[in-house]
Structure formats: C-alpha cells, structure tokens
Amino acid sequence: MSFFGTLFAKKEKSVLGVDIGSSSLKVVQLRKDHNKAILETYGELALGPYGGRDVGQATNLSAEQITETLKDLLREAKVTTKSCGVSIPYSRSLLTLVDLPYREDPKEQKTIIELEARKYIPIPVSEAQLDWFIVPETDPSQSAAMRGKIEVLVVAVHNDELSLLQNVMIGAGLVASFYEIEIFSTIRAVADEPVKPFMVLDVGAASTKVYVVERGVVALSHAINAGSQDITHAIAISGNVSIARAEVLKKEEGIGGSNALGSPELVFSRIFSEARRVLMQYETEHKKSVTSIILTGGGGITKELGTYAQNIFSIDVRVANPFAKTEVPAFMRTILQEVGPEFAVAVGLALRKLDEI
C-alpha cells in the first residue's frame, strides 16, 4: 500500500479547491494538462440541513459536523485527489491597508513592517497568524523613497479558525498545502483586468463583501450586513411560500418573477446602495475611476441580477464566470456559467493549487 501510494502521488496531476462557506461547501477538482486547467468534477452541498436549517441559510456548525458534510460531498462529487487548498472566510480574518515608514535596507524594512503591523491587529499577536504584502508603486513621481512611506496590506487570521479548518481537513482525509482568505481566491478566479480598478460584489448567504481591486491588490474591502438568505426570506414572505421553495424561485425566476412581487429588488437595492457609497468613497479618496463591477457569490446566481445591476450602476457590470478559466465539455458550458458565481472561491483555490504542480 505504501509503495503504490507513493507511486500514485508522484503522478498526481489533480488538485482540489475546498470552499467552506457559511451556508454550503463547494469543491472543484482540476487537472493540469499541457498547461491547461481541466475541470474533472465539482460539487456543492448545503450545510443548513446538517444544522437543522433550510437549504441556503447560514449556519454555525462544529468542526465535526463540517467534516461529515465534507466527506459526504467528496463522495457524491466522486473526488479522486486528496491534495487541496482551503478557503478562510472573510468574516474570520482581518485585512487593512496601512502606511508605514520606508527603509532602503530590505531587512530593516521587514523588521519595521512586522513590528508596526501588530498595532493594527485587535487581538494579541500570539493568537493570530500575521502576514503582509507591500503594495507595488503606481506613480514613479511619488515613490516610497520620496514620500518616506510604503503602503502595506496587513492580513491576520485567528489561530482558532486555522485550527478548525486543519481539523476538518484531517477528518476528511485531505492534505492542504495552504489556507487562503476567500477574497484572494475570488480575485484569481474572476479577474481579467490586471491594472485598472474594479469592484467585486460577493453576495454570500449572511453578508455581502465589497472589494475594490487595483493591480491585483485589495485596495478597499467592506462588509454589508445583507446577503442571499435575506433575498430568499423576502421571496418567501412576499410569495407566501416555504424557504426551500423560495430558494428555488430565486434561481429560476429571480428579479421580476411573477411570484416575487419585487421583493428581491428591495434587498438588492439596499446592497447596491451601500456598494455605490463605497465605490464613490474610493473614487473620491484615490481620484481614480472604478471601471467595472463583477457579481459573484451565492446571490450572484439570482436570475436576471446582472441586468438589474446594470440599470443601477453607471459602469459595466457582469456576473462572474470562473469556469471560463478552465477547459470544460461544450455541453456543460451553459450550466457552469449559471452556477459559476457560487464556485468562484473553489475555482480560485484550485487554480492556485495547480501552480504547485
């Protein structure tokens, strides 16, 4: 068994992206073939029923419950690899851009960043994993050396969250080589614009995450306390139907559906209004225009959402299609485009994992 296991590992070309969300688990298995990412399998399993709630509703399950759900998903999706990357929820992490003193000596600069960055973490450093990234300069006339400052993206994740995820991976029999905050996985999967600022609206179950990205770096992040489960609740109340039925109607009829009586628009109006405020705040402070908006997350699959959003915002809006970065059978393209927004994080994780091969 040991010999064949080692032999198989050497030939392993398949990798897995594991997205542990608040309302569902998603996995995407890719294989590298002639430098192309080939989709082998994918799957999603709602967490609600495992926690006594409806499909599409946010949960707070134990590591043991998540592990059992993940094992069920791996079996149903017929996943064949154990090699994976795993998402860290945005809500369980901290991202902040800070200006720190510039030093010409790289070693001295590193020391200053690590010491200063701790001041921006609201918990003891011993309780978190801390990382940072120096934001590339965009204006040669305002270099870090001239300003005496550098811009640094500081990232922190609580040890308890990492411990939970590690226990889930061990329990499910998977081997994770990295854990990545979901925002970075999403950007990798949906971004095409390498330079100009764009906004990502990630409509999750319990909340909506707003990111402004420039040159591949998160220039601004913001959370809105409304998500796809609120849309489902609105449809259920307006149409006098069950939560389960409302979840189906959200995907099949969405905005403007005869049963919904406009209720999803009320929730999206609140989300988009806050997103516009964040967009204008960024453009005013940075004196730059956001060129486009990408809709993703579970709420992104709401039917006709792209058309509705385009009428709200004055810039280009599109619904994410992360599977466009993979090779898939022609007959599956339409289906994958429809469900794509839900799988952006899992695809982004798998794409990063492929780079390790």
Sign of the alpha-carbon torsion through 44, 356, 93, 159: positive
Closest Cα to residue 24, out of 43, 42, 44? Answer: 44
Which H or E run includes 318? strand 316-319
Query: What is the pLDDT, as a whole number, of residue 261?
Result: 47
The rounded distance, in Å, linking the Cα atoms of 67 and 341 is 24
Q: Are residues 87 and 202 in the same domain?
A: yes
Exposed / middle / buried, residue 173 (Cβ in 10 Å: 0-12, 13-18, 19+): exposed
Q: For 4-23, how does the pLDDT look when each residue is reduced to its tens digit (9 = 90+)?
A: 444 444 456 899 999 999 99
Closest Cα to residue 180, out of 155, 204, 201, 200? Answer: 155
Looking at the domain assignment, is residue 154 inside a domain? yes
Q: For 67-98, how does the pLDDT look when each residue is reduced to its tens digit (9 = 90+)?
A: 999 999 999 999 999 999 999 999 889 888 88
Q: For 111-136, how does the pLDDT look when each residue is reduced to its tens digit (9 = 90+)?
A: 988 888 888 888 888 888 888 888 87
Residue 7 tokens, joined: 């032999």
Q: Are residues 53 and 152 in the same domain?
A: no
Q: Are residues 102 and 189 in the same domain?
A: no
Residue that terminates a domain, selected from 158, 185, 212: 158
The 10 Å Cβ neighbour count of residue 98 is 16
180, β-bridge pairs: 87
Long-range contacts, stretch 327-336, CB < 8 angstroms, 24+ apart? 327/33, 327/36, 327/37, 327/38, 327/39, 328/39, 336/39
Q: Are residues 113 and 256 in the same domain?
A: no
Looking at the domain assignment, is residue 244 inside a domain? no
Backbone angles phi, psi at 239, to 5 degrees: -95, 0
Closest Cα to residue 65, out of 5, 125, 22? Answer: 22
What single letter denotes the amino acid at residue 106? P
CATH code at position 30? 3.30.420.40
Looking at the domain assignment, is residue 243 inside a domain? no
Q: Are residues 67 and 120 in the same domain?
A: no
Q: Are residues 132 and 273 in the same domain?
A: no
Q: According to the per-residue pLDDT averaged within each range, which of 104-113, 210-219, 276-285, 299-308 is highest? A: 276-285
- Rounded to an integer, what is the distance from CA 173 to the centroid of its chain? 23
Q: Is pLDDT at 201 greater than 80 in this prediction?
A: yes
Separation of first and last alpha carbons in the chain: 23
Q: Are residues 23 and 119 in the same domain?
A: no
Per-residue DSSP letters for 3-54?
A: HHHHHHHHH--EEEEEEE-SSEEEEEEEEEETTEEEEEEEEEEESGGGGTS-
Looking at the domain assignment, is residue 277 inside a domain? yes
Q: Are residues 26 and 54 in the same domain?
A: yes
Number of domains in the chain: 2
CATH code at position 119? 3.30.1490.300
Mean pLDDT across the stretch 210-237? 88
Query: What is the pLDDT, as a whole number, of residue 146?
Result: 76
The whole domain housing 62 covers: 2-91+160-234+249-354
Residue 334 tokens, joined: 């339409």
Q: Are residues 154 and 164 in the same domain?
A: no
Sequence-distant (≥ 6) Cβ neighbours of residue 169 within 8 angstroms: 18, 84, 86, 175, 176
Q: Is pLDDT at 2 greater than 80 in this prediction?
A: no
Strand order across the beta sheet in which 128-134 lies: 93-101, 149-158, 128-134
Exposed / middle / buried, residue 241 (Cβ in 10 Å: 0-12, 13-18, 19+): middle
- Rounded to an integer, what is the distance from CA 100 to the centroid of its chain? 28
Q: For 245-293, how does the pLDDT look when each residue is reduced to its tens digit (9 = 90+)?
A: 888 888 887 776 554 445 677 888 899 999 999 999 999 998 999 999 9
81, β-bridge pairs: none
Mean pLDDT across the stretch 340-345? 95
Q: Are residues 112 and 255 in the same domain?
A: no
Query: What is the pLDDT, as a whole number, of residue 11?
Result: 54
Residue that terminates a domain, selected from 158, 174, 198: 158
Sequence-distant (≥ 6) Cβ neighbours of residue 144 within 8 angstroms: 102, 137, 150, 151
Query: What is the pLDDT, as a whole number, of residue 69?
Result: 96
Q: Are residues 277 and 327 in the same domain?
A: yes
Residue that terminates a domain, selected from 158, 177, 192: 158
The 10 Å Cβ neighbour count of residue 229 is 26
Looking at the domain assignment, is residue 113 inside a domain? yes
Looking at the domain assignment, is residue 342 inside a domain? yes
